[in-house]
Amino acid sequence: MTQNNKLSDTVKVDKTALNKIGCSLYVVTTKVGDKDNGCIINSVMQISNNPLTIAVSLNKTNLTHEMVKESGKLNVCSLDADAPLAVFQNFGYRSGRSCDKFLTCNPLRTENGLIYLPHYINAVFSLKVVSYVDSGSHGLFICRPVEAFNISDVPSMMYDLYKICVKPQVKSTQKVAYVCEICGYVYEGDTLPEDFVCPVCKHGAQDFKKLLS
């Protein structure tokens, strides 16, 4: 092994390099008792062909993570490229602890009794959890599919497409703006009030980053 191939004791990680890892966006749904819930994620991968195995990563702070650990089952709805901002606002910008995310969308259900979205998806995977890996901030659910089917041939919503075409952008006419690093909401103005609360995800000013146009 040459010197150039050796890892140093202090590895420098440029987190922007992670943006080069291609990923699609999904809505994961589950149910405990009478409570349905779901959230947006970007980490789903087939990791084995025999037996067919799919890994799903969920943030531990999400109610969905807690409910999947309890129920042992989940649906993965693959969002298509036509999914509007409203889908991301509903499933990604607010918590199921304080609202019913399915109140107005007339959801359908798979054979496992879990919800899948009626619109803006191109495939559904019903999964049974077979093991769990604690990965720090996230939990990794190792799953086996019990049902899977296609909805349409519309391409999947890739994260790059979401950032360019769906996620709110800072207007070029504004000299200064602040973007919420949790949900992407943009506050336009020279100064962000110290007590400002994001109207979408309810996080405070500490979670906003200053942007210059």
What's the pLDDT tens digit per position in 117-127? 999 999 999 99
Structural domains present in the chain: 18-161 (2.30.110.10), 168-212 (2.20.28)
Report CA-CA distances (Å) from 138 to 23, 37, 41, 58, 98: 17, 18, 11, 5, 21
What's the pLDDT tens digit per position in 155-198? 999 877 877 777 766 555 546 788 877 767 778 888 899 888 87
pLDDT number for residue 199: 75
pLDDT number for residue 66: 98
Angle at 194 between CA 189 and CA 198, to 5 degrees: 70
Within 8 A by CB and 6+ apart from 81, the residues are: 154, 155, 156, 157, 158, 161
pLDDT at 5 over 60: no
Cα(59)–Cα(39) distance, integer angstroms:
10
Cα(182)–Cα(206) distance, integer angstroms:
11
When pLDDT is averaged across residues 15-42 and rounded to a whole number, the result is 92
pLDDT at 7 over 60: no
